[in-house]
């Protein structure tokens, strides 16, 4: 799992029928110190996250698991909203 901040949403006029009813969000991966790590990406939302929230997401086939038995064609999916996290030094 990876940490990220939701920085935007995606509005589309046409998408794969297996994505019907699934919200798409733009997430910025984060380091444990909450610094941006890499490029933003689009992820499907399985938990009702919103812009500005910190989330954790999975990549690969596991991103489609929350939508079973449907198999949306995705490779990143938000699976949790982070309440807080602490980094011990």
Encode pLDDT of 13-68 as tens digits.
998 988 888 999 999 999 999 999 999 999 999 999 999 999 999 999 999 999 88
Q: Which domain holds residue 65?
A: 2-81
Count Cα atoms within 13 angstroms, Cβ side, for 88: 0
- pTM greater than 0.85 (yes/no): yes
Query: Do residues 77 and 62 lie in contact, with contact meaning Cβ atoms separated by under 8 Å?
Result: yes
31 domain residue, yes or no: yes
Q: Count up the domains in the chain and report the number.
A: 1
Query: Do residues 45 and 22 lie in contact, with contact meaning Cβ atoms separated by under 8 Å?
Result: yes
21 domain residue, yes or no: yes
Distance of CA 12 to the CA centre of its chain: 17
pLDDT confidence of residue 71: 85
* CATH number for position 70: 2.40.50.220
Query: Does residue 2 carry a pLDDT above 80?
Result: yes
25 domain residue, yes or no: yes
């Amino acid at each position: 799992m990876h940490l990220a901040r939701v920085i935007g949403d995606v509005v589309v006029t046409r998408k794969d029928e297996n994505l019907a009813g699934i919200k798409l969000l733009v997430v910025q991966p984060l380091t444990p110190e909450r610094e941006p790590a890499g490029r933003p990406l689009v992820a499907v939302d399985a938990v009702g996250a919103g812009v500005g929230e910190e989330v954790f997401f999975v990549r690969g086939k596991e991103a489609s698991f929350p939508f079973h038995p449907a198999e949306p064609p995705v490779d990143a999916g938000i699976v949790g909203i982070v309440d807080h996290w602490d980094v011990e030094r």
